[in-house]
Structure 1
């Protein structure tokens, strides 16, 4: 697999408060990578740097071998809340990414909406949707955006447990067909284990990479795996790594 995203020796501070220190990792083509760590360890700051909202103090961010420090528009980003535009319908919301660059495909959007179980809601507005439905629309918007790396910032955190698992299964089913590179930030170890090929554990601030785990569970993932003894052992291993400062 080729390298999609490469972070090399990246450091970032705010007002002499060092948030990230000498951070280096890679995400490969078609790989699903999760980042976990203590609260306040700079996980969201990392996304802002990759997305070009911040510029690193030192180090380099490369996408497909090209330096993108401080450049916006290189990633597709799904935030914690769906952030749908309330005056746009479901269809118009999912077409937004392509519309911005002048390449929108209504046929593909309608197909994706149907695959998401939202057929019949194309002309509905966000205030007519449940939380899970809004998050599906937000995902479709990311998937229809032209960027080849999708960054997910705790997208399931506001959902109840059963809706969250349903959304995780839906995301995996869509991703298995699309196989774009995904970088997920989450506080939920089970979520990271269930979804990921690889998990990166950050230390407390200033955040460094403490450990990387390659997850051995085969794909497609079966929901029953979360109840297995092997899954529990992996959860303990990652939990202990996060808790050991």
Structure 2
């Protein structure tokens, strides 16, 4: 299990403050979502956590150890699947392992089967649907050696039905393995359906404005989306976000 602690972290680019004194915690096996207005710096936050940029101030710790400016400490999935077209499904899935010198084909094949992609391991990305490509990208992140996942709007390009199917699939995998996850989304329904906690960021420079602890028990099914309690929580979060639009 892995924990992430961000303490009083700030980041600027070209003299403009993007992230301002952020403090965010993700506990062992916890699924935490980040909501905020467009351009508030959510993707920048992931780039700093991933070590692409060092913070101007503050500290980022993984299991108590500082990872400021250190690449390769987390598993990251961007908005698009970003599969390499010249590599097969199994070769794309094992890319993260290869980069860290750790190959476990049996584990990768097992995850491909769990994702409903058995028989496609030797197919190329051009032969896959959008949802299938997304599953391959998720598997690549899940089988990478790093145990902390940063997911940056991974369902944003999918249609509503495929999106819900992918959400349920990811939760089924996560509820078995309980990796620690930090998840960026613009979708309130998605954040409520998937998360243990939701953190709302302000407009740029991004600050933590409010935190919501999601009360719904797990496992969750799509019927929860139609309940009065779900609608009430959605309304409360929408009103909070509306202050920054």
TM-score class normalised by the smaller sequence: over 0.9
Per-residue deviation at 1:99? 1.2
Per-residue deviation at 1:149? 0.6
Count of aligned positions: 244
Corresponding position: 1:196 with 2:195 = yes
Per-residue deviation at 1:3? 6.8
Query: Distance between the aligned counterparts of 2:19 and 2:99, measured in 1?
Result: 32
Alignment of 1:28-177 (within 5 A): 28-177=27-176
* Distance verdict in 2 for CA 1:141–1:3, change over 3 Å: closer
Query: Distance between the aligned counterparts of 1:204 and 1:124, measured in 2?
Result: 43
Match of 1:24 in 2: 23
Query: Distance between the aligned counterparts of 1:242 and 1:16, measured in 2?
Result: 26
Corresponding position: 1:12 with 2:11 = yes
74-83 or 94-103, larger mean C-alpha shift: 94-103
Contact 2:2 2:147 in 1 (8 A): no
Contact 2:2 2:180 in 1 (8 A): no
Per-residue deviation at 1:91? 0.4
Per-residue deviation at 1:25? 1.2
Per-residue deviation at 1:153? 0.3
Contact 2:40 2:202 in 1 (8 A): yes
After superposing on structure 2, the runs of 4+ consecutive aligned residues of structure 1 that deviate more than 3 Å are none
SS at match of 1:107: helix
Per-residue deviation at 1:62? 0.5
Q: TM-score, normalised by structure 1?
A: 0.98
Query: Distance between the aligned counterparts of 2:100 and 2:73, measured in 1?
Result: 12
Corresponding position: 1:210 with 2:209 = yes
104-113 or 159-168, larger mean C-alpha shift: 104-113
Contact 1:202 1:209 in 2 (8 A): yes
SS at match of 1:12: strand
Contact 1:202 1:208 in 2 (8 A): yes
Contact 1:3 1:26 in 2 (8 A): no
What 5-or-longer segments of structure 1 have no aligned partner?
none
What 5-or-longer segments of structure 2 have no aligned partner?
none
Query: Distance between the aligned counterparts of 1:243 and 1:79, measured in 2?
Result: 26
Contact 2:2 2:179 in 1 (8 A): no
Contact 2:97 2:104 in 1 (8 A): yes
50-59 or 93-102, larger mean C-alpha shift: 93-102
Q: TM-score, normalised by structure 2?
A: 0.98
SS at match of 2:230: helix
Query: Distance between the aligned counterparts of 1:89 and 1:53, measured in 2?
Result: 27
Per-residue deviation at 1:102? 1.6
SS at match of 2:219: coil
* Distance verdict in 2 for CA 1:3–1:175, change over 3 Å: closer
